């Protein structure tokens, strides 16, 4: 299994500002994933964070808006830049070794006012 510590758990931010979300894993993992859950919706993958290379973004998500860092095999950050109320969502990080169980952080509930 894997234990993931995600911070902050929630935040209320002004539009036009940026928020950086951190995920710390208790063991080394190759792949980390960032998901977004808009209110009342399912989870959508934002990007896959690979250590030592640039993140791979899904259609509809761009690096300028959601820059990701992955400095080592246990840590990643997601920044939500130049926020608008439409960015109000739950953001979750996840790890999986592929072909096995995936684990999620506690989630970050973001409200943009």
Partner 1 sequence: GIQVEQSPPDLILQEGANSTLRCNFSDSVNNLQWFHQNPWGQLINLFYIPSGTKQNGRLSATTVATERYSLLYISSSQTTDSGVYFCAVEQVRGSTLGRLYFGRGTQLTVWP
User: 101, 32 in Cβ contact below 8 A?
Assistant: no
Work out which of 14, 42, 53, 64 binds partner 1, going by CB under 8 A.
42
The 53-92 site mask, x for binding partner 1 (CB under 8 A), equals: ---x---------------------------------x-x
| Cα 97-92-26 angle, rounded to 5 deg | 50
Residues 6+ apart with CB under 8 A from 87: 80, 110, 112
**In whole angstroms, how close is the CB of 99 to partner 1 at the nearest point?**
5
Pairing of strands 10-13, 108-112: parallel
Binding footprint of partner 1 on the chain (CB under 8 A)? 9, 31, 33, 37, 41-45, 48, 56, 90, 92, 94-104, 106-107, 109
């Amino acid at each position: 299994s894997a234990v993931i510590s995600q911070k902050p758990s929630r935040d209320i931010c002004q539009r036009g500002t940026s928020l950086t979300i951190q995920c710390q894993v208790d063991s080394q993992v190759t792949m980390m994933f960032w998901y977004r859950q808009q209110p009342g919706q399912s989870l959508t993958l934002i990007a896959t964070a690979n250590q030592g290379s640039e993140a791979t973004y899904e259609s509809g998500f761009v690096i300028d808006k959601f820059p990701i860092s992955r400095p080592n095999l246990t840590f990643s950050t997601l920044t939500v830049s130049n926020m608008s109320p439409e960015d109000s969502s739950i953001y979750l990080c996840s790890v999986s070794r592929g072909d096995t169980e995936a684990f999620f952080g506690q989630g970050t509930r973001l409200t943009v006012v």
